[in-house]
A and B are shown apart, each in its own frame.
Chain A
Amino acid sequence: MDALVRDLRFALRGLSRTPGFTAAAVVALALGIGATTAIFSVVHAVLLRSLGWGDESRLVSVYRTFAGIGSGKGGLSVPELYDLPEAKSLESLGAFNRGTGALQSAERAERVPVARVTSGFFTSLAVRPQIGRAFGPEEDLKGSDGVALISAATFRRRFGGDPAVIGRSVVVDGQSRQIIGVLPEGFSYAGTYEFFVPYGFTETQRLGDRGAHYLEVMARLRPGIPLAAANEEIEQLSMRIAEMHPDNYPPEMKSVLHVEPLRERFVASSRQPILVLFGAVLLVLLIACGNVANLLLARSAVREREFAVRSALGAERSRIVRQLLTEGLLLSALGAFLGVLLATWGLDVLLAVAPRQIRQVGEVRIDRAVLAFSAGLTIATTLVFALVPALRASRVDLASSLKDGGRGSGGAPGARLRRALVIAQVALCLFLLVGAGLLIRSFAQILRVSPGFDPEGAIAADLIPAGSAYADPDARERYFEETLRVASQLPGVTAAGEIFLLPTRGKWGQTIEIEGYERAPGEPLPTDEFRSVLPGYFAAMGQRVVAGRDFSAADDAKAPLVVLVNEAWARRYFPGALGDTNRRSAAHHVPDTVVGRRIKVDTDRHRDAFWTIVGVVSDAREYGLDQPVPPVFYWSSPQEPQAQMTLVARGRVTAAALREVLSRVDPAQPLDRVLPLEDVLSTSLAARRFPLQLLGVFAALALVLSAVGIYGVTAYAVAQRTREIGVRMAVGASAGRVVRMVLASALGTVGIGLAIGAAAALAGGRLIASQLYGVSARDPLTFAGIAALLGLVALVASGIPALRAARIDPMAALRTE
C-alpha cells in the first residue's frame, strides 16, 4: 500500500511537471474514452440492458409472415389475438399499438401520445400500476373501455402527483375515460406515452375481422418452455387457423405465426448501425491509445537514465513496469474522468439527433453499468498504450545508460516501435475514413435520387379528426373536404390536396385481383400499396398524371368506383403493352392500355367491388429515397374514406397561416404536425443521417489524432537527429535536401499505413455493405480520395518538423550533446 501510494505520488508529480505531455495524452484519451462511453451507453440501453419486465428469456413477440407474397414480419388481427390462448406454451399475451389522441380540455385540444393496449399487455410485461389498478379482460371490449391508465410523468405534470386522480375523467379522442391507475416510474414501451387506453374491440372485430393485421402482440412463455418449442406450437396453431378460415388465409399466401425474443422487435433494425458505430469508436480509441503510447515511448526514451538509476539501485523489472503502469493508469483515469464528462454532455446531443428506434427501448443514460464499462476501458487502454513502453523501459542497457552523456533510447528498436504505432494509426484511420467516406457517398447518392415529388414550397398538415363527432367515416370525410376547401382558398396557395399516408411515412397494403392480368402458376394474389387521396393532391405534390385523368370532385361516394395507379404498378402488371406508350411520360414507357382496366378489392365499405383504373400517375418514392418504388393504387377518398389524412398545400404560404385556417374548421381538433414537405423528406432520412453524422465526427477525430501522431513522431525523430542533420548541413546538404530527407522518412511510414489500411478496408467493406446505396464497398474513388486526404494531412503534419529541421543551425547542432 505504501509502495502504491508512493508510485501514485511520483506519477502525479511527474505528470504535473510535464503539462504539455499530460494534456496531450489526457485529451486524446478523453476523446477516445468519452466517445466510446457515449456509444456504449447506447449499445447498453438498446442491445444489452434488461428490458426490465421480469424474466426476459420468457418474453416473446408474436408476428405473422405471408411467405407466399414475400411479406416481412407483420402484426396480428383481433380474432388471431383471441385464437392464441389455445397455445399451451403461452402464459399470457397482450397487444399494443402506438398512436396519438386528442386530449380535450376546457380551453383547447392537444395531441398527446396514447398507446392502445389490451389487459394482457400489462400482465405479460409483469407491470403493476403504482396507484390504482390495471385493465381487466372485460375492459378490452367495446362498452367497458371507458378507462385509462396514465404514466408517472403525466401523473406529476398534469395532475400534480395527487393520488385523488384515480376516478377522475379525461376526454381522449372525444371519449370520456376514467383514470383507474398510475403506471410505475420509468415505465416505457416502444417510447413514452401519456395515456394507455383499451382498444375497445367490437364483437365484429373480435370474431370476424381477420384481414386487418395491425396488432403488435407480445406474450410471456410458461416457465421452462423453450423458444423453439413455443415457435413450433404457434406455427402449427396458425396453420390450423388457416385451414379453418381458407377465405382469409389462401394457401398460396403461406400465412404463418411465429415467436421471437421480444427484444428483437426493438433492436432488429438498429443493431447493425449501432455496432458499426461502436466499432468505429473503438478504432478511434485505439488510435488515441497509439498516440499516447507514442508519447510515452518518447517520454520513456528521455527517462531512460532514470530507469537505469532505479535499476542500479535495486529496482526489479516488475517494479519499474509497475511504476510506469501506475503512471499510465493515472493518465487513463484522468482521461476517463474527462471522457465520462464529455460522454454525459455528448449524450444529450447524440440523442437529440438519434432516430426513434434508438430512443424507444428505454432511457439512454450513463449508469453504473456504463461507468463499469468505462472503468474496464480505462484499464484496457492502459494496458494497450502503457504496457509496451513500460516493458521497453524496463529493459534498458544499464551500463551505457548510466554513463555520463548517455542519451535516451532513441535507438533503432524504439524508433521502429514508434513507426509501427504510426503505421497502425494511419491504417486504422484509413479504415475508418473509408467507412465514413462510403456512407457519405451513399448518402450523397440518395440525395440525388428524385423523390418523385417536389418537396420545395409545400407544407404538409396531419389531420386526425378524433372524438364522437367523427366516429362516422362520412363525418370524417366531410372534415377532410372542408379542410381542403379552406386551405385551397388560402391566399398564396396554388394547389392543395389530401392523402392517406404521405410518401416515406409507411406501408399499407391490400390484396387485389387484376382484371386481365394472368398470374403465373402458384403466384398468389398481389398485395399492393394503397392510398386514398382527395382531388388536387398530385398537383400539390408535383406528381404528373401520365395517362388517363386525375380524380375530380365528381368521383364522390355515389359515383362509379375508380382508382389511379402509379407507373410502377403499370410496369409491374402490364409490361407487354410497351409498344403502346404514352407520350406524356418522358422517363418511362407506360401502357395507356392500363387505363380502363379494373381491379377487384374487398373492403369493409365495398365487398368484392370492381374499381376502374382511370389514370396513371408518376412514381413517388413511397418507402423512402433509398427504396425501390412499389406498385401503388389510389382510391378517391370519398369512395374509400380513411381515419386520417395529410393535407399538402403548395404555394407562398406559411405553416402558421395554414394551421390558423385549418383550426378554424374545428377548433377542438389539435394540429400539432404542420411542417414543410422538405422536413418530411428529411425525417425519412434520419435513420441514415444519424450514424453518418456520428461516423463523420469519429472519422474527423481519428484524422486529427493521426495527424498529431505523425507530427509527434516526425518531430521527435528530427529532435533525435539534430546533430546528424547539423553534420549533413555542415558538409553541404541544402535546406531542401534536409526537408526531402525528413519527409521521405515520414511519408514512407504513412505510405505503409495507407497500404495496410486500404487492404483492411477492402476486406472489411462487407461490414457496412448493407448500408451502402449506389456505391460499391470497394469504390475506387472513395479509396483514392481518402488516401489522398490522409496523405495530405500527413504531408502537413510531417512538413512542419521537416521545415524546422531545415532551419537547424549547424554550429549549434554540432555543439548539442
Chain B
Amino acid sequence: MSDHFQIAVIGSGPGGYVAALKAAQLGASVAVIEKHHLGGTCLNYGCIPSKALLSSAELLHQLQHSGDWGVSVSNVAFDWAKIQGRKDKVLAANRSGIASLFKGRKVTLFQGLAKLEAPNKIAITSEKAAAQTITADKIIIATGTTPVRIPGWPDDPAMVCTSDEAVHWQTLPKKLLIIGGGVIGCEFACMMQAFGVEVTIVELMPGLLPGLDKDLGDTLAGIFKKRGISIHLQVKVNDLQVANGIAKAILSNGSTIEADRVLISVGRKPNAKSLGLESVGIATSPKGFISVDKTLRTSVKDHYCIGDANGLCLLAHAASAHGVVAVENALGHQKDFIAPIPGAVYTFPEIGGVGLTEQEAAEKQIPISIGKFPLARLGKAMATNHTDGFVKMIRHRETGELLGAHMLGHNATECIAAASALLQQNVSMDDVAETVFAHPTISEAIKEAAEDALSAGLHLPPRKVIRVPALV
C-alpha cells in the first residue's frame, strides 16, 4: 500500500466519506482514516438509527389512533428487540454500502486512530495492525463531534446516557428524564412516548427547539403536552444524583424529578482534542472547533476542516456539502460555501425550516412580512387526518425576496426541500406564490403561506383593508 496520497481524509462520517468520494471522482488518490465504524455519527449513532427507531414509533402511534381512520386493530404491541434488530441491519447495510462505494472508486481505507505529526503527515495507530505513517498533499479533517456530558454528574452509562447510548438501548426505561429540549431531545421524547415511556423534558431556554423559529417549538410543545409529555421550560438542572436505580434531578426552580433513566441532550463538542492540532499549528475556537475561512481552509495551508468539526453547522448534509466544497478548493478550484442549509426535525409531525427566522429578522432589523397557513385548512391534511401544523413564510418587505420558510406538519422534512431550492435561487415571494404545486398535497401549504405573505391568500379570510383618500 502506497503511503503518499493527494488527499487524506480523517473521519468517514457524512463529511469525510463524501469528501473522499468527491476527491476520487475528480481524479485524486485518496486515503480515509477511520477509527471506528464507517459512516461516523450520522450512520452509527445519529441520523440513521434514530430515524429507523422513529419510523417504528410513528407506525405504533398511528396504530394507537387507528380508530380515527375507521380502522380497528386489536393487540397493538411491539417487540423492542426486533425493532433494535431491524435498526442494526439497516446500519450494517449502510456501512457496507460506504465500503463498496470506496472500493468502486479505489479509495484506500485505513482502520485506526489518526494523529497529525507534522503538516501533511498523519500517524495511524490501531490495536489490530502495526502503526504506520502516511503523507498527503492535502488533508481534510472530518472528525466530528460527540455528545456533551456534564462533568460532576454520575457517568453510569446505563442510567445517565447520551444519544450515543440511547439509539442502542436494549431495554426501555419506564420513566425517562430528557435534559435539553433541542432537536435530539425532542426526537427522543416523541419516540419514547410512543413506546409507552413516561417522558419529562427539562429545557434551559424559554421554548423547545431554541435556534429554530419560535413558533415551531411552541406548537410542538402543545402537541407533546397533549400526548402526556411533561415539559419544564426556562429551568436548569442544578444537580443529578443516582442511587438504587433511581435518578434524581434537582431543578433550579426548587423541584425534583425522578426517573429510572436520564438522557442528556444539551449539545455536542468537537472530537479533535487528540488529533495533534498543536503540532501543526491549526487554530481552534475557545470551544475547540477548528477555525476555517469561506473556502473551509484552516489556519494552516493544505489543511481543511469540514462538518461538525468546524462548528459552522452541525448537520450531516452541511458536512457533505462542506466536503464537496473543501475538495474542490483543495484540488485548486476556487469555491466558497454559500448555499442555505435546511434543518429537519423527525418528530411526528415533522419540522422543516430554512433561511431567516422571524426572530433573526427582528434582531437584524430587516423589514419583513409574514405569511402563515395552518394545515388544518388544507385539503390533503384534512383528508389524511394530519391536520397538526402550519407553514410560515418570511418575505423582505422592501425587496419582496423570500427570506425564510418554516414548517411543522406531516412530511415537513420532505416539503421543505421546495422552499430550500427556491431560497437558493434568491426568488421573490411572488415567484413562490406563482409556482404550481400539485393538489392535493401538504407541500402546497407553502404556496398558500407565500400568498398570505403577500396579503393575497385566497384560502384565508381577506386581510383587513384600510381605504383612505390621499392627501393633496
Chain B associates with chain A: no
Question: Contact residues of A with B, CB < 8 Å?
Answer: none
